[in-house]
């Protein structure tokens, strides 16, 4: 967001005939792709960030794939709390399943699921509380 704000400010100060671009549309598209596919940004937050920073709409194509949205994420969050499962893990597994649709090699499927399950999903506060409890018990 700071880069977009800086770009807007530099454009105001630059001569009218000078092209100022600190971040390109292609780079914004790639950031959006990474956030949506690798960071489980189901709410697609980049267009709102660009709108807030620049005041203009970001011209991005709609995704071909069906994504879950903020309401779906809220429901998953409730279920994750109810079943004591980290929301990040659930989102990662759903995205992994979507990415692997049609894949026939079972070893790749299992290795991707294993990678998702082996990540640390607890938050810093939860880990700190666990350490404090262990130290108090010792």
Do both 6 and 38 map to the same domain? Answer: yes
Q: Which residues contact 113 (CB under 8 A, 6 or more apart)?
A: 93, 96
Do both 87 and 128 map to the same domain? Answer: yes
- Asked whether 91 and 119 are in contact (CB, 8 A), the reply is no
What radius of gyration do the chain's Cα atoms show?
20
pLDDT of the chain, 138 residues: tens digit per residue: 788 888 888 888 888 888 878 888 888 888 888 887 777 777 778 888 888 888 888 776 655 455 667 788 889 889 999 998 888 888 888 877 777 776 666 677 788 888 888 888 887 888 899 899 989 987
Q: Which residues contact 60 (CB under 8 A, 6 or more apart)?
A: 28, 29, 32, 46, 47
CA distance 76 to 60: 27
Question: Could you tell me if residue 62 is inside a domain?
Answer: no
- Asked whether 112 and 105 are in contact (CB, 8 A), the reply is no
pLDDT at 82: 93
CA distance 124 to 113: 23
**Structural domain span for residue 19:** 2-54
Question: Could you tell me if residue 64 is inside a domain?
Answer: no
Do both 76 and 117 map to the same domain? Answer: yes
pLDDT at 25: 84
Do both 74 and 50 map to the same domain? Answer: no
Q: How many domains does the structure of the chain reveal?
A: 2
């Amino acid at each position: 967001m700071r880069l977009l704000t800086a770009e807007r400010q530099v454009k105001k100060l630059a001569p009218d005939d000078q092209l100022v671009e600190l971040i390109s549309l292609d780079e914004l598209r790639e950031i959006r792709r990474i956030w949506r596919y690798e960071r489980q940004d189901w709410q697609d937050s980049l267009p709102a960030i660009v709108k807030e920073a620049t005041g203009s709409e970001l011209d991005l194509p709609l995704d071909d794939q069906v994504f879950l949205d903020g309401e779906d994420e809220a429901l998953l969050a409730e279920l994750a709390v109810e079943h004591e499962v980290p929301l990040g893990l659930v989102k990662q597994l759903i995205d992994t399943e979507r990415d692997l649709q049609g894949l026939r090699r079972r070893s790749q499927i299992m290795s991707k699921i294993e990678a998702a399950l082996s990540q640390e999903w607890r938050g810093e506060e939860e880990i700190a509380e666990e350490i404090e409890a262990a130290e108090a018990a010792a």
